[in-house]
Structure 1
């Protein structure tokens, strides 16, 4: 079955762009980024921004993230995939990352949520950006939260 990503969430003054690969089944069903209850994205980003995102209603999470100069999107526009695992994607079509990056003149860094998204860094269209490979927030990546958070804290240098 073909799956599609969501539109980007951003404001023109974004300093950091966080890129996932393609929303999983729970997120697609909810029409929300990182909706799986065991995905640690909102908790990790909340720690980086020093604000509690995980307990906010979804629209307020997005507002708070954008207010902190963070943009969200996925590297994959669409793909054939059974289930939620990145490794199961076939017939991949990429989002136009370079087009979004061109709309963000103050962008300083791109954080890739997991190794699969990091492989698409050559689609950014700008060589002056810090490309940060972040530990995946996915429950499939079974590292302790504290270990993941240590990798995510590098984002603070770009806020």
Structure 2
């Protein structure tokens, strides 16, 4: 059975220089009302490693680490129908207004897509209208089975834009 789901509001402020875009929250994230809440998703572990921060499960502190390091987080999809958490199960999707977000927060210098679905969707949304660089990073999802070390190595590119 397909279930209608909605994205969360962006985590962003005027100081944000990097925008990380996922596709849309998975089941565990929707249940917890937190970005990247699945315990096997490596997003938070990567962020904490990159910025040499002590890991915490406290979501408010996680958000503060993002803001302190000038990182914004959002999703390319605003609403859709999906069974489970797989991007391949997404149907009837509607996009978030990424263009408006970029106009509202002009300090964003680069967009990093957390996985192929967000990258593919973002390319359709922007239609090369933006002069901001768009980069594909390996998904932090446990379904993307490359090693944590390799994911971390590729995600280090974020620091070059801060």
Q: What TM-score results when the alignment is normalised by the length of structure 1?
A: 0.94
Aligned twin of 2:47: 45
Aligned counterparts of 2:26 and 2:130: Cα–Cα separation in 1:
29
Following superposition, the deviation at residue 28 of structure 1 comes to: 0.2
Aligned counterparts of 1:34 and 1:88: Cα–Cα separation in 2:
18
Aligned twin of 2:150: 147
Aligned twin of 2:120: 119
Is the aligned partner of 1:104 residue 2:105? yes
Q: Between Structure 1 and Structure 2, how many residues are aligned?
A: 158
Following superposition, the deviation at residue 16 of structure 1 comes to: 0.1
Q: What TM-score results when the alignment is normalised by the length of structure 2?
A: 0.93
Aligned counterparts of 1:8 and 1:150: Cα–Cα separation in 2:
25
Judge conservation of contact 1:10–1:66 (CA < 8 Å) in 2. yes
Gaps of 5+ in 2: none
Is the aligned partner of 1:18 residue 2:20? yes
4+ residue runs over 4 A deviation: none
Aligned counterparts of 1:128 and 1:48: Cα–Cα separation in 2:
26
Judge conservation of contact 1:13–1:105 (CA < 8 Å) in 2. no
Gaps of 5+ in 1: none
Following superposition, the deviation at residue 121 of structure 1 comes to: 2.5
* Secondary structure in 1 matching 2:9: coil
